[in-house]
Each structure stands twice: as C-alpha cells, then as structure tokens.
Amino acid sequence: MTRATAGSVGLVETQQVVLFDGDDPLVFESGATLGPVEVAYETYGQLNADRSNAVYICHALTGDAHAAGFHEGSERPGWWDNLIGPGKPLDTDRYFVICSNLLGGCQGTTGPSSIDPATGEQYGLRFPLFTMSDLVKVHRALVRHLGIEKVLAIVGGSLGGMQGLQWALDAPGEVASVLAVCASSRLTAQNIAFSAVAREAIMRDPDFHDGDYGRKGVAPTGGLAVARMMAHITYLSEESMRTKFGRRFQDSAEPRFGFDVDFQVESYLHYQGESFLKRFDANSYLYLTRVMDYFDLFEDMEQAAARLEQLDTRFLVLSFDSDWRFDTSHSREIVRVLAAHHVPVTFREIRSPHGHDSFLLEVPEYHRTVAGFMDRLADEVEHKGWA
C-alpha cells in the first residue's frame, strides 16, 4: 500500500485534458500551429467559492505534473512534496494548487514523442520549436479550463521561475504574484554552453537518427545519460559534493587504477544518468533546453517597460548563495529591472550548501520566506479582494 506521511496531500491522480484541437489549434509565437494538444496536470486542495486561492506550479527542466502526494502503489512522493501540502508553505488547506506537465514534455503533455495524427508516427524533430510565451499560453488555457480568471500566485524554480516571469508580462491582470526561485531573465553564455554540450551528447549518439529514434525502436540512451550527468554537476555546489563524496572510493579503501567507476561521485553520476532514462525523452530535453537558451525577458526593453507599467503583480525573487548555475546576479538583475519600473518586488538571498538544487529541498529559511509571503498575500486578498 502507498505510504502517506504527515502533511501529505495523500493519494493523487494525474488528469488529462485536450486544450487545443484541429479546429482550434495552439498558435505558436512563430506562427506554427498544433492540435490536438493534450495536457497532463494534477490539483491539490479545493478551489474556494470566489476562485481566488489558485496557485500554479511551473516545473523546471526535467519535472512533471506530479508535484505532491503519492500515486497509487508508489513510495516516492511528488517532486515538491516538501513545499506543497497541509500546513506546508503552499498550504493545501488554504490554496488550490495546480501543476501541469510542460508543452514539449514527455510525461503526459503533447511533445516530440507524441503521435502526429497526420502521419501516425512520433513528431520527433518535426515538433514546432516553441518559446517561453508558448509554454505560458498552454498554462493559461488550463487555468481557463478550470474556471479561474486570476491566479493568486505562480510559483516556480529555475525554468519554472522563468515561466512565471513571462506569464506576468504576457497577461497583466491575470497574476496577483510571482515567486521566482533561482531563476533568470536570460541565460549567460556559460549556461548556454552547458546546454549545447548536453544536446551534442544526445545528437551524436548513434541511436539518435536525426530525432527519429522512436520510429527505429531505439533511443539515444548513452547521449541522454551523459547529458544528465553533466547537468547534474551544475545543480550541486562544491560544498555539497565535497560533503557527500569527497574523494572517497566506491568499493574499496584503495584505488583500482583503471577507467571503470572508482570514486563515489562517479557512481552517483552514473546512477543519475541511468535513472533519468526511465522517465525522460531525449527530444524533449533538446526542446526544453533550447527554449531556455532563447529566453530573454527584457531584450526589447521598450516593450518590456510598457508591460511592466501595466502590472499589478507582486514578486518574490529568491536565490541561494551556493547556486553557481543561476547565481545571485541573475536574481539581482530581475529585481533591478522590476524595481526600476516601480513593480513591487521582494528579494532574498538564502544561505544553503546545496547549490541550484536548493529550491527542491527543505531549507528552513527558504520555506519560512515562501510561507510568509503567501500568508500576507492571501490575507490581503481575503480581506480586500483583488483590488
């Protein structure tokens, strides 16, 4: 039987909905169209009478719709279970929490591994390239489907935080607040370089077949595992790696002097790479890393300024002092632009030894900050309404 812990939302199921179809397709920012578009999502808690307590979770690069609770038969909770649930910072006794799998994903939402109804085969690299605004367009369609006109908060870490930022600028008046955790308004050359190497590992795998590996009945597992291994290094801090692994050997007190796995850190990375293969699609990895590369929220500052002046959205921007993938300078740049345009923004850099992955972990100061921001916001809405 599935284990449920104190503060858990308990057993949950992933739901599916078709939000766009051939008669009413999703129109991408590029002009490309797609239909049908099916979206996988989960909800936790109850929507209140005036529909003012909705919180939307935007997941990061390799996340999915299963953010909290347990699926039947599983001992592992959703990926943000420490943040979402009764009495937790995103308190499901108070908030109606929604999390969906991203467009282009591989966990129930239409993406490159989905079947193209026109051909009966997987889309592969024929799937349209998309932007952050395209991701947001699908989220907004789900919100409308659920009968919600305005969201109390958009909450996301890393790529999830970027979606929240884009959402606020794309739909002024639809978002009361955004909580962007270790996010960025645009990637640095170093960040783009990391993703470029990961994509090369996938595309140079002999089983990639120009993205049509699904038709061949194979998968570029070697390349995808290497991509995950390299990315995972950037999610951890030097301190956390030193504490977890140091220079300890895996199976003995002495080195074996060879090229097989010898150090504990090597074994850990191999495990991360192999376990990733069970849940992720290589083409989705290509598309979702690329959408991050092209994201540049304030590139057209004149247009961005006009949108910022329309905002009645509040922002909480958080970073972690040991995160070197999206270090604090990324968050400070977001705060600088928002503050320069008189947008209400609160910023905190939080001490954590865990690097970029800190946003997924139970860091006490981080959780207290999120809970305090959400409580103040919800109290105000309950007493004064949206105005």
Give just the sign of the alpha carbon dihedral 312, 318, 323, 328: positive
Burial of 299 (0-12, 13-18, 19+ CB in 10 A): exposed
Percent of the chain with pLDDT over 70: 97
pLDDT (average), residues 369-377: 97
List residues bridging with 38 in a β-sheet.
18
- Give the active site residues: 158, 323, 356
Q: Residue 59, class by beta-carbon neighbours within 10 Å (0-12 exposed, 13-18 middle, 19+ buried)? A: buried
Q: Give the pLDDT confidence score for residue 310 in this predicted structure.
A: 87
DSSP string, 264-320: HHHHHHHHHHHHHTTT--HHHHHHHHHHHHH-BTTSSHHHHHHHHTT---EEEEEEE
Question: If pLDDT is split at 50, 70 and 90, which confidence band does 254 have?
Answer: confident
The residue whose two tokens read 């907004």 is 140
Q: What distance lies between CA 294 and its chain's CA centroid?
A: 16
Q: Which domains does the chain have, with CATH numbers?
A: 15-188+296-384 (3.40.50.1820), 192-289 (1.10.1740.110)
Q: What are 142-186's pLDDT values in tens digits?
A: 999 999 999 999 999 999 999 999 999 999 889 999 999 999 999
94-127 pLDDT per residue, tens:
999 999 999 999 999 999 999 999 999 999 999 9
Q: What is the pLDDT of residues 60-79, one digit of tens each?
A: 999 999 999 999 999 899 99
The model's pLDDT over 310-348, given as tens digits with 9 standing for 90+, comes to 899 999 999 999 999 999 999 999 999 999 999 999 999
Query: In which element (H, E) is residue 156 found?
Result: strand 153-157
Cα gap 144→137, rounded to integer Å = 11
DSSP 98: E
- pLDDT band, residue 3 (cuts 50/70/90): very low
pLDDT at 289: 98
Average pLDDT, the chain: 94
Split at pLDDT 50, 70, 90, the class of 1 is very low
**Least confident window among 31-40, 143-152, 301-310:** 301-310
pLDDT of residue 260: 75
pLDDT of residue 6: 64
User: Is residue 189's pLDDT more than 90?
Assistant: yes
Q: Is the pLDDT of residue 4 over 60?
A: no
pLDDT of residue 387 exceeding 80, the answer is no
